[in-house]
Structure 1
Amino acid sequence: MSQRIVVTGGAGYIGSHVAVELLSQGASLLIIDNFANSHPEAVSRIQELANGEVVLLERDLADAAHKGDIKKAVATFKPDGAVHLAGLKAVGESVEEPIRYYRVNLEATITLVEALENAHAKTIVFSSSATVYGEENPNPVDEDGKTAPANPYGRTKFFIEEMLKDLAIADKSWRIANLRYFNPVGAHPSGRIGEDPNGVPNNLFPFIAQVAVGKRDTLKVFGNDYQTRDGTGVRDYIHVCDLARGHAAALGYLSKQTSGCAIDVNLGAGVGYSVLEAVAAFKRASNREIPFEFAPRRDGDIAEIFANPSLSKELFGWQAQKTLDDMCADHWRWQSKNPDGYNS
């Protein structure tokens, strides 16, 4: 892959792993990040783990004052396309601050689209989410499942998918892949990059990891009265390195399309694990106790969801390879080596 790719949110958890994967395949990168939920140190470590050209632009895609700088930098870079990962991503926070989520996530996408159009680089791999499905589908969920997101975060993802599909209808030269991914966990096997959330983690695995390393006393398990095998929520966990390979595979697929397209594709392992099963696996990996207590369900959470990932294999030749135990071992390696994240 000798492509030139813009990676928005490229210093974030998923973005840093995507950047390493793309660089390792020979791509050159323009990373755009405002470091709102990421750290500049991640960019240094990306370059440590993979050789190649990395240009960093510290700007906020959702800030109108930065639009000119972003447009100019993208045009100067002369990209082939973009992987769009920048945005706000906490379900609970989106319920409390819906307007902020709509403004930031949609504005960021519009700014990127305009910059790519100006640079004649009409290819986007968009970081969507399984949250677009809601809870009305039988599992495993395929791409034809009913879309009914249960929270504002999921609705921003859904609206952006629709916006990009409308764009591809209006202008047949756009090539778009909306990657609906399930629950990314784990870290690069080197332990050099991983998930480093600001404040209290919103996601299960970084919270478990912070309990295991002694930063937090107790894990709160939200809901133990779901209609699942042990009463706790069931999710499809996917190793972040598998996810990164999926983005590279999607770019490869789009680069071969002779006409425009807009596709929705699940990236998941196709297996559901409960919260308690995830806790048990992390306990095995870390050899630490993970004290937990049950708490009421959170608004916007659903009982169970896992993917039918067959389309990603059919189109991209991609499938998840790493197990839940791999995910826990790699996540623990990152957390134990970097107990305070990039500030360690």
Structure 2
Amino acid sequence: MAILVTGGAGYIGSHTCVELLNAGYEIIVADNFSNSKLEVLDCIREITGRNFTFYKADLLDKEALNTIFEENEVKAVIHLAGLKEKFPEKSLWYYHQNLISTLILCEVMESHQVKTLVFSSSAAVYGLSEKVPIDEERLLGATSPYGQTKQMIEEILRDMYESDREWSFVFLRYFQAIGVHKSISIGQELYNLSNKLLSDIFQAEVGKTSELSISLGVDGVMANDYIHVVDVATGHVKALKGALRSKSLQVYNLGTGRGYCDLELVTTFEKVSGRKIPYKIISEYPGDNGVRCVDPTKAKLELGWAAERGMEEMCGDSWRWLVHLSNELKEK
């Protein structure tokens, strides 16, 4: 039996597939390439030395999903497919794509008696929080269309569990994944860089901007809980093991337990790259106040998971990936 990974060709999805295959799982990947490329699948095969089944499918296509379940023995699903936090002005699009696709997925899973789901949620469901680090018991209050769809999906799945305790759900909440696999063969494409600062650093690398603008937030308080994408991927594997062990609904934060300010990120990039990155300090961007970081204690105690990679490794891998993208552009 196999694990279906929706969005398995995406940034976090591809790294999760690598960790699943390395852990000995059989996988099936479903992706419509809205946030990814076909070549990523060959990179996953090359990294792991293993093959897997792939379907080009949109989760809004119920017939295509049914085909996947009819043609394969699916044991569980890791749900990573969905629109990313890049288009805040397209709220209706977010709701349609992220909510309806998840409803269709759950309907198909239920009809085939597959009731184990790891949902890749987001720490965006917490909204603005005055107290950090944020634990899993904190009241939810998403403030963006992206975060609200994640929160709504959690609520839908929670209602499903309350009405049918045969389901097993795990929700994973995390902030900003960065870094890439050590092979430097899979990562976020340039058009998909969701972090503005990373995008600005890339623009500086290719000479499209002369100076970065770094915000220290209101009163100098601004920090993000960055986490290496491989740590996020191993978190999904650990969560899957937990979901398969018992029928329950569990929520886990994935993070380092501390926030890193933009200036710390840039100076670490300078250290790992050996290059000076020109920047200026600005007072604040709108909405920049606060420290965003989660408490990962529960994941450590119950899943045996902990982030293993620090900021230097996150930045080092990210820098090598940005250089890789830059070289690809120059070749074109």
Range of TM-score over shorter length: over 0.9
The match for 1:270 is 257
The match for 2:275 is 288
Distance 2:287 2:16 in 1: 28
What code does the residue aligned with 2:260 have?
A: Y
The match for 1:155 is 148
Distance 1:215 1:117 in 2: 52
Q: TM-score, normalised by structure 2?
A: 0.92
**Matched position secondary structure for 1:32:** strand
Distance 1:315 1:153 in 2: 28
More displaced, 70-79 or 35-44?
70-79
Q: 2:194 aligns with which of 202, 206, 229?
A: 202
- CA-atom RMSD, angstroms? 2.2
More displaced, 49-58 or 306-315?
49-58
Distance 1:340 1:123 in 2: 42
**Matched position secondary structure for 2:120:** strand
What code does the residue aligned with 2:65 have?
A: I
Distance 1:241 1:223 in 2: 27
Given the alignment of the two structures, is residue 89 of structure 1 paired with residue 76 of structure 2, yes or no?
Answer: no
> For residues 310 and 132 of structure 1, do their structure 2 counterparts lie closer, same or farther at Cα, with a shift above 3 Å needed?
same
The match for 1:240 is 229
Q: 5+ residue gaps in structure 2?
A: none
Given the alignment of the two structures, is residue 325 of structure 1 paired with residue 312 of structure 2, yes or no?
Answer: yes
Shift in Å at residue 341 of structure 1? 6.7
Equivalent pairs, count: 331
Given the alignment of the two structures, is residue 305 of structure 1 paired with residue 292 of structure 2, yes or no?
Answer: yes
Q: TM-score, normalised by structure 1?
A: 0.89
What code does the residue aligned with 1:202 have?
A: S
Q: 1:100 aligns with which of 93, 97, 100?
A: 93
Does the 8 Å CA contact 2:30/2:55 hold for their aligned counterparts? yes
Does the 8 Å CA contact 2:216/2:263 hold for their aligned counterparts? no
Does the 8 Å CA contact 1:182/1:237 hold for their aligned counterparts? yes
Does the 8 Å CA contact 1:222/1:298 hold for their aligned counterparts? no
> For residues 148 and 236 of structure 1, do their structure 2 counterparts lie closer, same or farther at Cα, with a shift above 3 Å needed?
same
What code does the residue aligned with 2:78 have?
A: V
What code does the residue aligned with 1:159 have?
A: M
Identity of aligned residues (%): 36
Distance 1:156 1:310 in 2: 26
Distance 1:211 1:11 in 2: 25
More displaced, 286-295 or 39-48?
286-295
**Matched position secondary structure for 1:80:** strand
More displaced, 107-116 or 266-275?
107-116
The match for 2:74 is 79
> For residues 90 and 79 of structure 1, do their structure 2 counterparts lie closer, same or farther at Cα, with a shift above 3 Å needed?
same
Does the 8 Å CA contact 2:214/2:262 hold for their aligned counterparts? no
> For residues 205 and 241 of structure 1, do their structure 2 counterparts lie closer, same or farther at Cα, with a shift above 3 Å needed?
farther
> For residues 80 and 281 of structure 1, do their structure 2 counterparts lie closer, same or farther at Cα, with a shift above 3 Å needed?
same
Does the 8 Å CA contact 1:181/1:267 hold for their aligned counterparts? yes
Does the 8 Å CA contact 2:242/2:303 hold for their aligned counterparts? yes
